[in-house]
């Protein structure tokens, strides 16, 4: 088949809702766009371990510590599935990590905000995992097979993460006046960055049109953001916390909550590397990567030895 025929066959397959698999022909732009989105997703999971890792040594009880430890490890695991799935597109993990370290690849802006109090751990689980899951449920139907399958497993774990965060917030909201104030303060700081996680408005989103055509994305940034707002507002009401948005109001005609404007200047600043913790996050990742060099070398040597033995 020539390239035009390959493209037609590929598009027909996508239209039939069949999955594209690693050995299938795919347009170069499809491959590149997936590598971009999936690797940035993987980087987000791994960098996302840092704000929560910050509280591992200060969790208020042994039970809370055990739960948080498991959650942070899950996020590392999500990064691994996603790096593995991205490698099926013909790029190595080393190349992906280099792109992160050299500032050529992004990660979710939200992880550049500090976790200042224990309530932030509740807010991250409730809001950040809550936003991630809305997006990822939609991605379970993405057209690229390995990405879709990784999402199924990740969603199951994220669902537990969201609940554990909400349970922390519920406990604090029903605690002393100081605990409730701490929960409210965390909600105030994490709300708007959570809305930014869904990316720019549809009209400003550079990749959306093509990604929707190829069913890489199944719902738009604004659709998913609205879904998140609609499901989160009643949860805040239930635990007696106030969403920090004076313009938030249920719109009976639309059947959705209207909400106030997002500060896109802040988003751009953070994405450009100038958020409160960007430098710290990347520096920590670089240090951990360098400190892990000997592990990678030892594993490569072990693998080479094993292969030489089985070839002999
Ligand atoms: N932060 O054209 P679009 C998690 C960039 S996982 C930074 O709309 P697209 C688990 C975008 O990359 C959270 N940059 O882009 C966890 C592009 O720049 P580029 C991560 C952003 O890809 C929880 C440019 O703006 N989830 O939280 C952001 O079509 C708790 C134009 O934007 C995923 O990655 C942002 N928020 O749509 C872990 C889900 N938004 O690449 C630990 C998969 C946009 O051209 C603790 N990804 N940009 O240089 C997606 O669904 C999509 O990539 C979107 C963006 C929706 C994020």
Exposed / middle / buried, residue 301 (Cβ in 10 Å: 0-12, 13-18, 19+): exposed
Distance between Cα 135 and ligand 1 center (Å): 10
Report residue 136 as tokens. 């990822």
Q: Given ligand 1 and candidates 78, 207, 208, which is best to mutate, with the most ligand atoms within 8 Å of its CB? A: 207
Measured distance CA(150)–CA(159) in Å, rounded: 14
Distance between Cα 304 and ligand 1 center (Å): 37
SS3 1: coil
Measured distance CA(61)–CA(36) in Å, rounded: 39
- Give pTM, 2 decimals: 0.97
Q: What is the pLDDT along the chain (312 residues), one digit of tens a residue?
A: 799 999 999 999 999 999 999 999 999 999 999 999 999 999 999 999 999 999 999 999 999 999 999 999 999 999 999 999 999 999 999 999 999 999 999 999 999 999 999 999 999 999 999 999 999 999 999 999 999 999 999 999 999 999 999 999 999 999 999 999 999 999 999 999 999 999 999 999 999 999 999 999 999 999 999 999 999 999 999 999 999 999 999 999 999 999 999 999 999 999 999 999 999 999 999 999 999 999 999 999 999 999 999 998
Which H, E and C letters describe 147-214, residue by residue? Answer: HHHHHHHHHHHHHHHHHHHHHHHHHHHCCCHHHHHHHHHHHHHHHHHHHHCCCCCHHHCCCHHHHHHC
């Amino acid at each position: 088949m020539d390239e035009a025929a390959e493209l037609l066959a590929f598009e027909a397959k996508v239209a039939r809702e069949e999955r594209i698999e690693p050995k299938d022909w795919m347009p170069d732009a499809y491959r590149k766009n997936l590598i971009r989105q999936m690797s940035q997703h993987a980087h987000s999971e791994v960098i996302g371990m840092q704000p929560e890792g910050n509280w591992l040594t200060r969790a208020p009880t042994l039970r809370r510590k055990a739960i948080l430890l498991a959650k942070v490890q899950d996020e590392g695991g999500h990064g691994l599935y996603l790096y593995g799935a991205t490698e099926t597109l013909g790029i190595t993990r080393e190349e992906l990590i280099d792109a992160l370290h050299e500032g050529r690849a992004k990660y979710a802006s939200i992880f550049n905000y500090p976790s200042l109090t224990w309530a932030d751990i509740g807010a991250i689980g409730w809001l950040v995992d809550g936003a991630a899951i809305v997006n990822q449920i939609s991605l379970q139907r993405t057209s690229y097979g390995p990405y879709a399958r990784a999402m199924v497993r990740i969603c199951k774990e994220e669902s537990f993460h969201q609940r554990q965060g909400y349970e922390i917030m519920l406990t604090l909201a029903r605690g002393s006046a100081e605990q409730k104030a701490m929960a409210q303060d965390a909600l105030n700081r994490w709300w708007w960055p959570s809305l930014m996680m869904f990316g720019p408005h549809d009209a400003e989103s550079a990749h959306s049109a093509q990604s929707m055509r190829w069913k890489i994305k199944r719902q738009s940034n604004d659709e998913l953001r609205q879904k998140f707002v609609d499901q989160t507002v009643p949860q805040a009401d239930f635990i007696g916390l106030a969403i920090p948005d004076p313009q938030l109001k249920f719109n009976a005609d639309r059947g959705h909550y209207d909400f106030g404007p997002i500060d896109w200047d802040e988003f751009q600043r953070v994405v450009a590397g100038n958020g409160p913790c960007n430098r710290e996050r990347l520096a920590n990742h670089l240090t951990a990567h360098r400190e892990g060099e000997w592990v990678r070398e030892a594993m490569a040597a072990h693998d080479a030895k094993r292969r030489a033995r089985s070839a002999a």
